[in-house]
Chains A and B, each alone.
Chain A
Amino acid sequence: QKEVEQDPGPLSVPEGAIVSLNCTYSNSAFQYFMWYRQYSRKGPELLMYTYSSGNKEDGRFTAQVDKSSKYISLFIRDSQPSDSATYLCAMTGSGNTPLVFGKGTRLSVIA
C-alpha cells in the first residue's frame, strides 16, 4: 500500500459547485499537510498548508486534517473555471524531510 492515496479522478463539476478533494495516508508520523495546485504543463504551486489536525481557511479554500482517521480534505467553495487544475496532496513528518505526494486529482470546472 502506498503511503498516500488520492483518487485521480477526473472530477467534473459545474461552476459554483462545492468541490471536495481527499487523501488518506498510512504514516502516523506525518505532521505537515499540504495541497498543491498544478495547471496543465506547469510546475505545482503551494495552495494550502496545515500543521497537525484542524481546519484552515483561505478565501474560497478550506483545508481539513483529521489525524485520528489519517484523512485530509480540501474544499473549494463557489468553484470557478480558473480552478480547473490537478490538485496534489503532500505530507511530511518534519520540516526538512522530503514530501510524499498523492497521485493528484484532476478537476474540471465547467462554465
Chain B
Amino acid sequence: DAGITQSPRHKVTETGTPVTLRCHQTENHRYMYWYRQDPGHGLRLIHYSYGVKDTDKGEVSDGYSVSRSKTEDFLLTLESATSSQTSVYFCAISESKRSSYNEQFFGPGTRLTVL
C-alpha cells in the first residue's frame, strides 16, 4: 500500500466549530488531493496541491481551505463546519510525469459527522 495516512479516521463535531483533517504521505509524491465522497455524488475534488505552498481549487471548494507547508503533509480545514459537510473525506497522492497518466493512490478516508 502507498504510504498515506489520514487523521483522524473518525470525527463527530458540532455546527460552527473549526475542523482540520490531516493527510500524511511517505512517498515524496508531488501532487496531493482532497476529495469528499457522498451517496449519489461519488468522489468530488475539493482542493489539490501541485507542490509545497502551491494549491488550487476543485469542484466543491466553498467552505474549505487547505495548506501544504511540507511535501508530506496536506491539511484540509473547515473554518466553520456545517451539516452539509458531513461526508467521507479521502486524500490522494500522485507523482508528476508529464508524458503519461499519474496513478492516484488513495488514503483510508476520514468519516466526518457534523451535528
Choose among A8, A42, A99 the residue with the greatest number of B CB atoms under 10 Å from its CB.
Answer: A99
Chain B contact-residue range equals 20 to 34
Would B106 and A96 count as touching, CB distance under 8 A? no
Chain A contact-residue range equals 20 to 34
The B interface, classified by DSSP as helix, strand, loop or mixed, is loop
B74 close to chain A: CB less than 8 A: no
A103 close to chain B: CB less than 8 A: yes
Q: State whether A95 and B102 are in contact (beta carbons under 8 Å apart), knowing that A43-B90, A43-B108 are contacts in the complex.
A: yes
Would A95 and B43 count as touching, CB distance under 8 A? no
Query: Chain A residues near B100 (CB, 8 Å)?
Result: 51, 95
Q: State whether A88 and B43 are in contact (beta carbons under 8 Å apart), knowing that A43-B109, A95-B98, A98-B58 are contacts in the complex.
A: yes
Would B103 and A46 count as touching, CB distance under 8 A? yes
Chain A contacts to B: CB under 8 angstroms:
6, 8, 32, 34, 41-46, 49, 51, 88, 90, 92, 95-96, 98-99, 101-104
